[in-house]
Structure 1
Amino acid sequence: MIPERVSLITIGAKQLPQLRQFYQRLGWRELEFSSDSYCVFRTAGVLLSLFPLTELLKDAGLSQDYSIEGFKGITLAINVDQPGEVDTYMEEVRAAGGTVIREASDAFWGGRTAYFLDPESNAWEIAWNPDSVFDEKGAMISF
């Protein structure tokens, strides 16, 4: 049986140095070996890596003309502890060069949510869910 875990998320970067700088401006900590060729950021429970898109396509066995434009059908999420943090963090995203695509607002399900794109149009949500449970390291374990 495959373990029930997500350990690493990799974003295929078109311009890795610029994308790396965006996440650095957010204040995210990198692993020591990170460079402009491959970098990994620490998050609560999952590592986020940036790898050149052309190399990721090769590694995955996909052709170079694989469609990569537009919405990829995946969002990454940062869940926070308090509803006001959604607004605060969206301002930090904006200051770091992210594009806000949905301003912070109350959600129909009782939380608060907002969406942004990083410089390469990867979609992120910042959300507060009143039912979220985090472990001692900040990883979400239930909602």
Structure 2
Amino acid sequence: MIPQRVSLITIGAYDLPSLRSFYQKFGWEETASSSDNYAAFLTAGVILSLFPIEELEKDAGVSFTQDKQSYRAVSYAINVDEPSQVDTTIEQIREIGGKILREPSDAFWGGRTAYFADPENNLWEVAWNPTAVFDERGGMISF
């Protein structure tokens, strides 16, 4: 049986120093495994890593056709504990240069949500879900 877990998410970075700086401005600390050519941030659920896109291509044996001006067909989420945190988180992201794609609003499913893009157009949702359950580390275990 394949273990049912996602433990590491890697974003192929077109400009690693710039993208690293953006996530550092969140107040996120890097792990000891970070180096000049790699950044890793421990989050409540998974490790978010940034790796130069050309190195990711070599490692995976593929070629990417998108550039950093295009949006990628995947989104990441930061789930918060209270509806008002969606608004305050988006304001903090706006202040550090994140591109706000969808302002905070109440969602049809009963929560509150907003979207932003990082400097390389990776999509992020900031969401409050009234039915979300988190473990003791802050990782979402159900919703």
CA distance in 1, matches of 2:49, 2:33: 12
**Alpha-carbon distance, 1:33 to partner:** 3.3
Partner of 2:119: 119
CA distance in 1, matches of 2:83, 2:142: 17
Structure 1, unaligned stretches of length 5 or more?
Answer: none
Most deviating of 25-34 and 109-118: 25-34
Partner of 1:77: 77
Given that residues 133 and 142 in structure 1 are in contact (C-alpha distance below 8 angstroms), is that contact kept between their aligned partners in structure 2?
A: yes
| TM-score (norm: length of structure 1) | 0.95
**What is the one-letter code of the residue matched to 1:82?**
E
CA distance in 1, matches of 2:86, 2:36: 30
CA distance in 2, matches of 1:42, 1:96: 20
Instruction: Quote the RMSD (CA, aligned, Å).
Output: 0.9
CA distance in 2, matches of 1:73, 1:18: 21
Given that residues 20 and 36 in structure 1 are in contact (C-alpha distance below 8 angstroms), is that contact kept between their aligned partners in structure 2?
A: no
Given that residues 99 and 117 in structure 1 are in contact (C-alpha distance below 8 angstroms), is that contact kept between their aligned partners in structure 2?
A: yes
CA distance in 2, matches of 1:24, 1:47: 14
* Corresponding residue pairs, total: 141
Structure 2, unaligned stretches of length 5 or more?
Answer: none
